[in-house]
Structures are given as C-alpha cells and as structure tokens.
Amino acid sequence: MRPTLLWSLLLLLGVFAAAAAAPPAQLTLETYQEWCNDSAATHDPLSQLPAPQHPKIRLYNAEQVLSWEPVALSNSTRPVVYRVQFKYTDSKWFMADIMSIGVNCTQITATECDFTAASPSAGFPMDFNVTLRLRAELGALHSAWVTMPWFQHYRNVTVGPPENIEVTPGEGSLIIRFSSPFDIADTSTAFFCYYVHYWEKGGIQQVKGPFRSNSISLDNLKPFRAYCLQVQAQLLWNKSNIFRVGHLSNISCYETMADASTELQQVILISVGTFSLLSVLAGACFFLVLKYRGLIKYWFHTPPSIPLQIEEYLKDPTQPILEALDKDSSPKDDVWDSVSIISFPEKEQEDVLQTL
C-alpha cells in the first residue's frame, strides 16, 4: 500500500510539472516562439542582456517620442542596439520600422525613437490605443522585453500654448490672432477651445472664453492703458469626453488706442489749451508794451538826419547855401498834427445865430 501511494504522488507531481512547463494551449506561432525564447533565456542566464531602464514616452503637442537609458556592458566593444515594437488594441506586435510607422526604430544605437520625426502628421493615430515594448540586442544575445503602459495621444498629451501670437491694439480693444498648438486631422472627434487671461497693469486678472476661433477681440478696454495677457488652449476629445488643459503663453503687454469719444475729448482739450495759451501770451505782450512803452519807443525811433541842403553844402561848400535857405523859409501853409471839428447841436446853433 505504501509503495503504491508513493508512486501515485510522484506521478501527480510529474504531471503538474509538465503542465507548468508546457506553453499555453491557445497561442499563435509568433507568441509561441517568443515563449520559447523567453524560456530558453530564463534557463540560460548567461545569454541575456540587461534590459533598458526607465523608458518613458513624451507626448507633447504632436510629438510622440520614446526614450530610455542605455545598456552599459564592460566586457564588450560592440555597441548595443535596440529594437522597438508596437501594437494596437487586440492586435499582434509590429516592428517599428519605415514600412509600418514611417521611422526606423529597429536595431538602432540611439536611445530615443521619435515616431513623429518624419513629419508632425506621422506617428500613431491620436485616438488609437497604443502599446510599446523595447529590448536590447547584441549579436545573438538580447534582453527581456520591457513593455510600457498603453497610451492614447488625446488622453495623455501635454498641450502647449498657442503659437504665432499677434496682438493688434484697437480703439479701446485688443485683437489677438494665433495658431493652434498642433493640427487636428478630424475636428469632429477632437478640437481646441481657447481662453484669454488679461489684466490692466497693476489690476485684477480676468478670463474670457471659451472661443473656438483663432481670432479673439477684447473689447470695452480703457483707452491709453497698458494691458497684459496670456492665451491658453484646451483640447476636448468628444469620444471619451476628455479635455486636456494646455500651458499658458508668455506674458505680453500692449497699450490700447483712443476711441472716438476720447479722440473728440482730445481735440477739444487741445483747442482750449491752445486758445488759452495764445490768450496768455497776448495779455503778457500787451502788459509789457504798456509798462515799457518809452523804452520801446526809443528803440524804434528813427535817428536824426542832416537836412539835404546842409548835406549838399558839406559836400560842396562853394554852393550858395544861405540864399537857398532864405528861399525855403518863405511862408507856407500852416501844418497841424491833428484837426478837430467842433459841432454844436441844432438848438445851440440857432441861439448862436440869433445872438449874432
């Protein structure tokens, strides 16, 4: 009884060990080969390379970049190369090469794979569920696969600020134009909306939005005032009702222009100021003329001149100057500086005539 029981237990243990070592029943050929390779590497530790450490995926705007730390080997002069594979939901693994993704990330020496290096529109579809895995290779040796968590670009992306921001000051307003952080192929599935954070220098910050347009006008601002602003984008993904808040743009400040009413006030103020200044100058000139009348009269008085006859005599003393002077001294009509006409009223004139 005891030998039979012992042999039965040994037989059961052998069956369980064979079942544990056997591959799963439902496997594809590719996964079976991978399972065999992994099993062989597990049983032969000398054939394995260290796996790449700290892999990370950078999703910034349209960028999709996988990076990792290099594998260092002290006993080999040959460089270690790396292989990247990807898959979508419920699909097999694909090589990340030019045929499949547009860039080559197979047997590369770099420690980075930029899936959008060919163009911003390249890379994985932004609404697909993507999983990446990575391993190091050196000749016939290779490391274990390092699988990253799946990602969706619209779900995990870091949205930067809007680009190419241009601000045009208007009449009590600021007109803002910009471009989106990155292009979206199908705006029915995802789109951007924008917010403007603005404030008067030294004032309280205000937020205006959301806007779908890439041109925003901030109205009802005070004229001739400096306003500072920042623009922010927000990505909305309709499929999963997910939104990603983007980074704020750099602070920029602008001065508004005058509106129509302010320009009219300026014209009136300038006119009144000019008239007042001219009036003050005219009054000051009149006061100076009255105060310094004698001095001004002296400055503008013509100097005395020698009579013409004496000037001729001085030039030619032989001329009979005395006879000429006697002729000029003949009586002439009296000359008056001013003439006054005195008139009498009619009654006084009649009285004067009667008395005569």
Q: Given this model, what pLDDT does residue 32 score? A: 38
Q: Given this model, what pLDDT does residue 12 score? A: 47
Rounded Cα distance between 322 and 22, Å, is: 161
For domain 163-258, give the CATH number.
Answer: 2.60.40.10
Planar angle of CA 95, 96, 98, nearest 5 degrees? 110
Cα–Cα separations (whole angstroms), residue 23 to 15, 16, 20, 42: 14, 13, 8, 14
Q: Given this model, what pLDDT does residue 292 score? A: 73
Q: Given this model, what pLDDT does residue 249 score? A: 97
Read off the tokens for 338.
């001013």
Rounded Cα distance between 37 and 32, Å, is: 9
Please, is 299 exposed, middle or buried when counting C-beta atoms within 10 Å of its C-beta (0-12, 13-18, 19+)? exposed
Please, is 176 exposed, middle or buried when counting C-beta atoms within 10 Å of its C-beta (0-12, 13-18, 19+)? buried
Q: Given this model, what pLDDT does residue 299 score? A: 72
Residue 66 amino acid letter: L
Overall residue count recorded for the chain in this entry: 356
Read off the tokens for 324.
């000429």
Q: Given this model, what pLDDT does residue 323 score? A: 61
Cα–Cα separations (whole angstroms), residue 44 to 21, 49, 94: 15, 11, 27
Q: Mind listing the pLDDT tens digit of every residue in the chain (356 residues)? A: 444 444 454 444 443 444 444 333 333 334 434 444 444 444 444 448 999 999 999 999 999 999 999 998 888 788 999 999 999 998 899 999 998 888 999 999 999 999 987 776 678 999 999 999 999 999 889 999 999 999 999 999 999 999 999 999 988 899 999 999 999 988 889 999 999 999 999 899 999 999 999 999 999 999 889 999 999 999 999 888 889 999 999 999 999 987 556 555 666 777 778 878 888 888 888 777 777 777 776 676 666 666 766 666 666 666 666 565 565 555 555 555 565 655 555 655 555 455 54
Cα–Cα separations (whole angstroms), residue 37 to 46, 106, 131, 145, 172: 14, 19, 21, 11, 72
Q: Which CATH architecture has domain 53-155?
A: Sandwich (2.60)
Q: Given this model, what pLDDT does residue 327 score? A: 58
Q: Given this model, what pLDDT does residue 267 score? A: 64
Q: Given this model, what pLDDT does residue 231 score? A: 97
